[in-house]
Structures are given as structure tokens and as C-alpha cells.
Amino acid sequence: MRYSIPLFIYGDGLKPEDANNPATFFPLSLSYKLVQDSGKTWLAIRNQGQTHARISQVNLQNTSLNSGLMGYVLPGNEMRFQVPASANSGQLTALVNSHTKPVVIPHQ
């Protein structure tokens, strides 16, 4: 049996704003767009922050796209996740990292 566990290590200069509240450790800098590619619709999430973003429980226009872990977006990168072709741009919310309430991810 194998397990895959993500491990993220950060150097000096990256420290929490409030060490007692994990949700404020690092400021988020996320944005999204919908992309059509090869006849499929993709949710592209860009992370312009300094740390990884763990994306889960994603909703677009009050429609659930994912009820569990969708994936990680590493700093300075963009990840694409396939979504239904009927998906339209609107308010995107998700649980990000240790936040216990959904975060609004702005449209690019």
C-alpha cells in the first residue's frame, strides 16, 4: 500500500500574520477563468501568491463543482480542472488551505 502526502516547506521571510489563526498565515492571491480547449471546459485557477493553495469544495454560481479536494495550485502557477460544459463565469467560491469559510476567488 502506498500513500501520497504533499509536503510544503517555506524559507525565511514567510511567516504568519497571526500565528494563532492558520487561515491568516499567508495572504491569498488567486484568480480564475473558464477556458475552452479541445471541446472541453476547464476551470483555470491562477495562484500569484507566495505559497501553495489547497482548493476544495468549489462552487460556481451556487452550483457545486466539487465537494471534496479539487487539487493544489502552486505559487506562481495555474492549474486547470475539467468542469461541465454548461459552466458559466460568475462568483467562484472554495475552501482554501485552512480557511473554514468559503473564499471568493475573483474572475481574471
Residue 38 lies in a domain: yes
Give the tens place of pLDDT for each residue, 2-53: 777 776 666 666 555 555 555 555 678 999 999 999 999 999 999 998 888 9
Number of separate domains in the chain: 1
Name the E strands within the chain.
Answer: 30-37, 40-47, 53-60, 63-73, 77-83, 92-96, 103-105
pLDDT of residue 33: 97
3-state class (DSSP) for residue 56? strand
Residue 53 lies in a domain: yes
User: Residue 104 — pLDDT band, cuts 50, 70, 90?
Assistant: very high
Q: What φ, ψ does residue 23 adopt, rounded to 5°?
A: -70, -20
* Residues whose CB is less than 8 angstroms from the CB of residue 80 and which lie 6 or more positions away in sequence, other chains included: 35, 37, 42, 43, 44, 45
Residue 58 lies in a domain: yes
Give the tens place of pLDDT for each residue, 52-99: 899 999 999 989 999 999 999 999 999 999 999 999 999 999 999 888
Residue 42 lies in a domain: yes
Residue 89 lies in a domain: yes
Q: What is the residue range of 75's domain?
A: 28-105
CATH number of the domain enclosing 53: 2.60.40.10
Measured distance CA(26)–CA(97) in Å, rounded = 10
Residue 100 lies in a domain: yes
Measured distance CA(103)–CA(96) in Å, rounded = 7
